[in-house]
Amino acid sequence: ILDLDGISTHIKIQPTMYGIFFEDINFAADGGIYAELIKNRSFEFDEPLMGWKQQNSRILSHNLDSGVLTIYSDDSKTNKNYARITVNNDKSYILENEGFRGIGIHQNTQYDFSFDLENVSGNISAVNASLIDENGMVISKVPILIKGIGWQKYTAVFSPSRTVEKARLQITFTGNGVVNMDMISLFPQDTWKGRKGGLRKDLVQKLYDLQPGFLRFPGGCIVEGRTLNERYQWKKTIGNVADREHLINKWSSGFAHRPTPDYYQSFGLGFYEYFQLSEDLGAEPVPILSCGMACQFNTGELVHLEELNPYVQDALDLIEFANGDTNTKWGKLRADMGHPKAFNLKFVGVGNEQWGEDYIERYKVFEKAIHSKYPEIKIISGSGPSPDGEFFDYGWKELKKLNAQIVDEHYYNSPEWFTKNAGRYDDYDRSGPKVFAGEYAAQSVGVVKPDNKNNWQTALSEAAFMTGLERNADVVAMTSYAPLFAHADGWQWTPDLIWFNNLQSYATPNYYVQQLFSNNKGTDLIKISENGNPVKGQHQLFASAVQDRNKGETIIKVVNTDSQGKSVEINPGSRQIGNKLNKITLTASKLSAENNFQTENIKPVEEILALKKGKFLVDIPANSFVILKLK
Ligand code: AHR
């Protein structure tokens, strides 16, 4: 029997209770949600012709009979490189881009193609651009006339006749002459909210459907960088897209088993776009900033305390960029980019997964500076990579002494760990900092091993664990699964919440667990107990309950990790409930079951049942997560 407490606990579920964590890992940004289809569009990768091919040429940059491509640099620019193409003897010179593991092209969608070109000399009066399939057959073709001299932007629209997952872009130059080219770009017109140069619609829709309370960005380890020089610097990610300086992605080397040397950050998805995305999703923006420590799993390079000021200033300037009025330097830049209204930033994270004395010393400097100027901003501090880590307890002890506001905990562990730890926060100090479970996921094979699966076992164990997060909503203020996205042909880390290829995406069982919690988070916690005890694994049952004051609903979440179904009696006690029960069940045929691009077999199924007054019996199937909504 599960008893609901008649008396409200007076504990509010924070609107930020269930959020999302976005990191550019697994091609999540470039090649993923950022809808640009051309890889290395402005020749800025360390190997400037990576992603590009001259037809019939095995060695790039080599003199071909029909023409030659040379990379030139303009050191006065942030994006220095451009390509000089010389076409000889009235022949055709062909340049191809492979996209991000191919270019996904949908029939009946239009594609904006553009490039910057300077007509230097001679006579190249037109270029022909084509989308071609894996066999070289043309899917769509556009001729573009070259007029005048000097740098100009040229545009055209492709209307493809077929859907192709791994198309390529081919540009053919004919004539006798020299042109310079830069920013060769291809975007679907059908982006999220129809924004030019915007985000991939199907992927953002999946985020929107989660109704996330916050968006934590941009990482993760990419915030820290392998070296300090490679850290994420938000100021380099705003302003004109073509001027944003590229950076090799920390995950390009990832782990030894998944090297991805062609993984760069173009920052087309930069801080302005992250704020805009947060706003679109109705989520609080939660930017995480470098605290002057490079990734401690890599170089662990440190900024001396006396030299920390520019890092701290970046944090202060970011708050001004998000919230400052349009007369301020950074607020004006935000307005110039199209958003005069403040983004209403409330949280800032200082460091990602940092630990030890070095972190605490740096955190103190940030905290003092941020709270002296912006006392209303809530600061999120880190506790290191894992609760089992050597420095975890040290970090918590020190952060408590410093009255830290929110501490970010990360745990990647086995499904067994998650079910065993459903009571993790039951004994947390209620007078200390709030908890942000900022990254967590159950890993089927082993921690940080390749080929971890997003199977039902992992999702079910996360659901069991999440009842514990919810039961402790007085101390747990924010939670988010990680990582969010993975490209099926370009990942470095498993498991991940949403998988995609160039055309499609699918939601994992873990996604549906997140969605069910988030869409049913309620407003107030209700105590739910079995013989007066929290339900955290006795008889392999886990449960939590909330009230939604806005919708007038009592919502019970029950997880059964047993291979036997159970008939559970719910005692609403003195709670007022109506005569309707919405029962939503998420389960699978076996623990190893997964969703995939072809089918999402594991997804919530809803039924509406009649309810009598008083206690009632409900079937909780074997290995299932069930939501009971009483109106
Ligand atoms: O989510 C992948 C990585 O896991 C994150 O970058 C890091 O914070 C954690 O170690």
The 10s digit of each residue's pLDDT in 489-508 is 999 999 999 999 999 999 99
What is residue 598's DSSP assignment? S
Tell me what pLDDT residue 391 has: 85
Nearest CA to ligand 1 atom 7: 220
Pocket of ligand 1 (CB under 6 A): 23, 25, 219-221, 352-353, 385, 410, 439, 482-483, 493
Tell me what pLDDT residue 64 has: 55
Give the position of tokens 């880390």: 493
Cα(460) to centroid of ligand 1, in Å?
22
Q: Provide CATH 3.20.20.80 ranges for the chain.
A: 20-35+194-520
Cα(221) to centroid of ligand 1, in Å?
6
Q: Which of 355, 439, 448, 491 to mutate to test the pocket of ligand 1 (most atoms within 8 A of CB)?
A: 439
pLDDT along the chain (631 residues), means of 10: 79 97 97 98 97 66 69 94 90 93 97 97 92 96 92 97 97 93 98 98 98 97 96 98 96 75 97 98 98 93 97 98 98 98 98 95 98 98 86 93 97 96 96 97 90 97 98 98 96 96 98 98 95 94 96 96 96 87 97 98 97 92 97 86
Cα(333) to centroid of ligand 1, in Å?
31
Tell me what pLDDT residue 258 has: 72
Which architecture characterizes domain 2-12+525-630 according to CATH?
Sandwich (2.60)
Strand pairing report for 605-610 and 580-587: antiparallel
* Tokens at 289, concatenated: 């900033």
Cα(59) to centroid of ligand 1, in Å?
37
What's the Cα-to-Cα distance from 588 to each of 494, 521, 559, 563, 624, rounded to whole Å? Answer: 21, 23, 13, 11, 8
Instruction: Report the SS3 class of residue 358.
Output: helix
Contacting residues for 183 by C-beta, under 8 A, at least 6 apart: 41, 42, 114, 115, 116, 242
The string of DSSP letters for 163-205 reads -EEEEEEEEEEEEEEEEEEEEEEEEES-BGGG-TT-BBHHHHH
Q: Which of 174, 129, 147 is nearest to 38 (CA)?
A: 129
- Write down the catalytic residue from 23, 230, 320, 353: 353
> What is the CA 246 to chain-centroid distance, rounded?
19
Atom of ligand 1 nearest to the CA of 385: 10
Tell me what pLDDT residue 62 has: 47
Tell me what pLDDT residue 256 has: 47
Tell me what pLDDT residue 449 has: 86
Segments in 338-406 forming alpha helices (H): 356-373, 392-401
Cα(483) to centroid of ligand 1, in Å?
7
Query: Is 353 assigned a catalytic role?
Result: yes
Nearest CA to ligand 1 atom 1: 483
Q: Which of 481, 493, 510 to mutate to test the pocket of ligand 1 (most atoms within 8 A of CB)?
A: 493
* Tokens at 212, concatenated: 């996330």
Tell me what pLDDT residue 66 has: 76
Give the position of tokens 């919440």: 497
Tell me what pLDDT residue 254 has: 66
The 10s digit of each residue's pLDDT in 53-99 is 987 543 344 445 678 899 999 999 999 999 999 998 778 889 999 99
Atom of ligand 1 nearest to the CA of 21: 1
Q: Provide CATH 2.60.40.1180 ranges for the chain.
A: 2-12+525-630
Q: Could you tell me which CATH number the domain at 52-188 has? A: 2.60.120.260
**What backbone torsions phi and psi does residue 225 show, to the nearest 5 degrees?**
80, 155
Give the position of tokens 């005692």: 571
Contacting residues for 617 by C-beta, under 8 A, at least 6 apart: 567, 568, 569, 570
Tell me what pLDDT residue 58 has: 39
Taking the CA of residue 617 as centre, how many other CA atoms within 13 Å lie in the half-sphere pointing to its CB?
Answer: 4
State the sign of the Cα–Cα–Cα–Cα dihedral 173, 175, 176, 180. Answer: negative
Q: Which of 600, 599, 597, 606 is nearest to 625 (CA)?
A: 606
Contacting residues for 113 by C-beta, under 8 A, at least 6 apart: 129, 142, 155, 156, 157, 158, 169, 185, 186
Q: Which of 255, 352, 408, 448 to mutate to test the pocket of ligand 1 (most atoms within 8 A of CB)?
A: 352
Q: Provide CATH 2.60.120.260 ranges for the chain.
A: 52-188
Cα(49) to centroid of ligand 1, in Å?
30
Tell me what pLDDT residue 464 has: 98
Tell me what pLDDT residue 61 has: 45
Which architecture characterizes domain 20-35+194-520 according to CATH?
Alpha-Beta Barrel (3.20)
